[in-house]
Amino acid sequence: MHGTLCPAWVDPGTLGRIPERDLDAAWERDALLDDVDAVLAAAGMGSARDWTQLVPVPVPEVPSGSGALPMVATLSLYEPRRVWWVAPDMGLLVRADLEFSDGLVFSRAAVGVAADAIQDTLREVARQDPRAWHLWREAHGSHPILIQVTPARLGCP
């Protein structure tokens, strides 16, 4: 794959296209991100286009019935430092706040990996046990599910 990053579940021979940010392909990128924007808007957030970095990645399909493309869009901001994973086909938004505050120092990479593992695990549950996913969605209603990962101090103050 000559230096190209590819998720483990995507067959190495699979061809995929991520539209560029240039103006010629802006309509195509906007169409791809419509479902992401719908999840963000339902959660009271702005458009995916407001983020510094945006990387849509194709993922295995889950039996959600949403009609949205099976993908996870990773959104990043440098100020404030945040990374969000949006899975529009699942109505799922996992958020990792990576700002150092109140003297708290932590591994941003470890927090990011934990947040990514949460969304990836929920996708696998939905794929492997659709009934369990249906019960999860039923318990949370039809609005997007927001999971926030925030580092905190452990132990006594």
Segments making up each domain of the chain, as ranges: 23-149
pTM above 0.85, yes or no: no
CA angle 19/89/53 to nearest 5° reads 40
* 94/108 Cα distance (integer angstroms): 15
Q: Tell me the pLDDT tens digit for each residue of 140-153.
A: 887 888 999 888 76
Q: Tell me the pLDDT tens digit for each residue of 60-107.
A: 887 766 667 788 888 887 777 888 889 888 888 998 888 877 777 788
Produce one character per residue of 101-123: b if its CB has 16 or more CB atoms within 10 Å, e if not: eeeeeeeeeebbeebbebbbebb
Q: Kindly state the helix (H) or strand (E) to which residue 36 belongs, with its residue range.
A: helix 26-42
